[in-house]
Structure 1
Amino acid sequence: MSIVYRDATPEDAAAIAEFAGRTFCDTFAHLYPPEDLDAFLAAKYGADIQRAEMAEPLTRYFIAIEGDRIAGYVMMGALDIRVDEPGALELHRLYVDKDMKGKGVAQALTDEVIAWARAHNAPALYLSVWENNHRAQAFYKRYGFAHVGEHKFMVGRVADRDFIWRLTL
């Protein structure tokens, strides 16, 4: 398995949008009524949306490519969740294709996010993780992230309980 890691470009936006929607559905689609899932996907994962996010000054997309396909990606940037810590940054999304889980892709992407946040002299890195995503929580614990709060993550009209986690840098 040969994986290439690189920064995403606007030309990657359509592929990232498709990948993000598919991997979100692989993991979570069974939790939501179709109309709420469709509303969420339309609001978060369109090529134009991804391009607009990439254009934001502090936002960075970093992707893992295997052959001609995306194997995983991470989106990082300014804080979007409600915490009050000047200079802190956020790991917004970490998505890995289901057949790539357990193969080091998530680790490589997370290592890049942490290095990026440290390069920006952030005091901390935050993320949000669904309360019942125990695999992700175990992964983040290995990095030293700690549960510091919670918030509602909206998927259409459905409010999920997400935990807010913090890593001191």
Structure 2
Amino acid sequence: MENLKIDHVKLDDVVQLQNIGRQTFTETFSAVNTEENMAKYIEVSFSLGTLAAELSNKLSQFYFAVLDGEVIGYLKLNFGQAQTEIKDNNALEIERIYVSKEFQGKKVGQLLYNKAIQIAQQVGVNHVWLGVWEKNHKAISFYKKNGFMEFDRHIFKLGTDDQIDIMMKNVLKNE
């Protein structure tokens, strides 16, 4: 993966973001959710309008993992009031880390995660937090390996299905 680059996503990249977002979300969750719930979620969350608004929010940042010119994954970070749950100026939310199935297990997710931690340290937040579906054992294991601990739970709505997300955080410096 020495040719892998982490690039900041700009508004002009919205179609590429939509493509990788839809692809990776479908690869990750379609086998364990109904087609209707997947379609409903993807239609809203990965519409060009929704993604353009997220890209335009100065308190959110997106990064692509690019290998030989191909986008193979992405990262979304939220600061301050852009955070989905905890609106803490001393925290950073990792809202999304997704890697295309073909490149999972090749350290791409780790590189995206490392980028998130680098940014968190640059801006001086106390902790990084995220929500991860309770049935996504692979992701939970990844975050635990990287120092995250469970601190709460919340509901994530996928179409009409209320799912439980485990909220996890990694304390970077004492609060």
Q: TM-score range by the shorter chain?
A: over 0.9
Normalised by the size of structure 2, how large is the TM-score? Answer: 0.90
Q: Which runs of 5+ in 2 are unaligned?
A: none
Distance (Å, rounded) in 2 between the aligned partners of 1:27 and 1:89: 24
Distance 2:122 2:32 in 1: 37
Q: Structure 1 CA distance, aligned partners of 2:67 and 2:85?
A: 35
Paired residue for 1:59?
60
Distance apart, 1:101 and its partner CA = 0.9
The size of the alignment, in residue pairs, is: 169
Asked if the contact 1:89/1:125 (under 8 Å) is kept, the reply is yes
CA shift, 1:142, in A, is 1.4
Distance 1:123 1:98, change over 3 A: same
Moved more, 156-165 or 112-121: 112-121
RMSD: 1.5
Secondary structure of the structure 1 residue equivalent to 2:83: coil
Same amino acid, percent of matched pairs: 26
TM-score scaled by length of structure 1: 0.93
Q: State the secondary structure of the residue aligned to 2:86.
A: coil
Give yes or no for the alignment of 1:95 onto 2:81: no
Tell me the distance in 1 between the aligned counterparts of 2:129 and 2:147.
11
Matches within 5 A, 1:6-155: 6-78=7-79, 80-83=83-86, 85-155=88-158
Unaligned segments of structure 1, at least 5 residues: none
For structure 1, which segment, 147-156 or 82-91, has the greater mean C-alpha deviation from structure 2 after superposition? 82-91
